[in-house]
Amino acid sequence: MSSVTDLRASATALGPWPGNDPAEAIRIIRGELGDPHLPFLPELPARGVGSDAVGRTGSLLVDLDIDVQPHGWRLVDRPGKDERRASSALATDINILADVAGAEDVSATELKIQLMGPLSLAASLHLHNGERALLDYGARRDIADSLAAGVAEHLRKLSAAVPGARLVVQVDEPEIASVMAGTIPTASGYRTLRSIDGEEVTGAWRLVIDALKAAGVVETVISVPEIEAPIDRILAAGADGVAVPLRALTTRQWEQLAGAVEGGKRVWAGALPTGDPRALLPKTSDVVESIWKPWRQLGLEASGLAGLRVTPSTGLADFTPSAAKDVLTKLTKVADGLDQLAQG
C-alpha cells in the first residue's frame, strides 16, 4: 500500500446504487470519482434476485451452489436459475465496465469492488433444513474456503476489463456484531444462534484477505457498522484498513482507529449521513469538522488526513440516481477540505 506521504484524501461510496441501468450507474460513478478518488463497480439491488449482495457474492463461491427459497438464499447441490442469474448480471456489469472505461480519455488508476464477508455470508445463507449456515462450524469453514477460492478468477476478469487499474476490495460484514454477540435468531425464532468466537472470525477474514492479496489486490478493507465494530479483529486479520460510519463511534473505537492510523492503516470514514434519502446533505465544512474535531482531540497529525477515504454512512440504493450523484459530488468536496487541512 502507498505511504501516507504520497496519498491524497479521497472519496468513494459503499457499493449499493439506485436504479437498474448498470451503464448509467457506471458512467456517473466514473465521471464523479476520477483520480485521486475511488470509482467502484456498483451493486443494483433494484434489478432483483441475484443483484443483491448475497446473491452477487454467493455466485463467486467455488464448489458451493445457491438458490432462492421463501426464507432467502440456500446452499444447494447443483446450480439453478437464481445462481445463473446472479452470475450473468455480474458478467454483464464487468463487460459494461470494460466498455465505459475503454472509451475514457483518462481512466482512474484504481477500481473498487465489494464482496460480502464470510461471516455475514454464513449468516445469510441457509442449509437444507432451513437453518442458517452460521449454525454449523463445517459450513462456516466451507463458505470461507470457497469464497477465498473464488476471488482470484473474479479479480482476473476485472483486471481484464480495466487493464492497469489497481484493485481495491471492500469486504462487507453488516451482520458481524450480531454474529459475535449471538443474537441472530434460529429458523424457529425461539432461540438465537451461538456467538462465534473472535479467533474464528479473525481466521476467516485472514483466509479471504490472504487470497485477495495473492490475487494482486492492493488494498483490502473490512466494512462494518459502528455498533460494536470489532476494529481490533479487523486489524489482526491483516486488513489494510477499516470502513466504518462515524456517527456513533465510542471514544474507545476512535482510539482504536487512531492506533490503526499511526500503524499505517487506512480509515474509510463514513462521515456523510445518508440514512434518510429525503434529508438535505449537510454543509461540506460541517462534515469536514466532524472528522477533524475527534482527529485533533486524539492528537493525530493533520498530515494523516491525507490517508483518509470518505464515504456515505450507508449504501445509496434508496436514493434517486441524481441524488446519489450529488452524494458523490459532496464527498469529493469533503475530501478536498481534508486535503487542505492535511497540507496545513
Q: What is the pLDDT of residues 28-80, one digit of tens each?
A: 999 999 999 999 999 999 999 999 999 999 999 999 999 999 889 999 999 99
Task: Report how far Cα 130 is from the mean position of its chain's Cα atoms.
Answer: 27
**How far is it, in rounded angstroms, from Cα 282 to Cα 37?**
20
- Non-local (6+) Cβ contacts of 91 within 8 A are 157
- Name which of 85, 55, 51 is nearest 73 in CA terms: 55
Percentage of the chain surpassing pLDDT 90? 95
What's the pLDDT at 188? 87
Confidence at 248, pLDDT banded by 50, 70, 90: confident
Task: Quote the pLDDT of residue 192.
Answer: 96
Whole-angstrom CA distances from 100 to 95, 114, 199 are 9, 19, 42
Average pLDDT over residues 120-145: 97
Is-contact 246 257, C-beta < 8 A?
A: no
Whether the pLDDT of residue 2 is over 60: the answer is no
Look at the block and give the residue holding cell 462515524. 246
- Where are the CATH 3.20.20.210 domain residues in the chain? 48-245
Q: Tens digits of per-residue pLDDT, 189-231?
A: 899 999 999 999 999 999 999 999 999 999 999 999 999 999 9
> Does the pLDDT value for residue 155 go beyond 60?
yes
The pTM is what? 0.96
Say yes or no to pLDDT of 1 above 60: no
Q: Which pLDDT score is estimated for 130?
A: 93
Give 7's pLDDT tier (boundaries 50, 70, 90): confident
Determine contact, residues 165/108, Cβ cutoff 8 Å.
yes
Q: Which fold has domain 48-245?
A: TIM Barrel (3.20.20)
**Cβ atoms of residues 334 and 12 within 8 Å:** no
Going by C-alpha positions, the residue among 204, 264, 278 that lies closest to residue 234 is 204
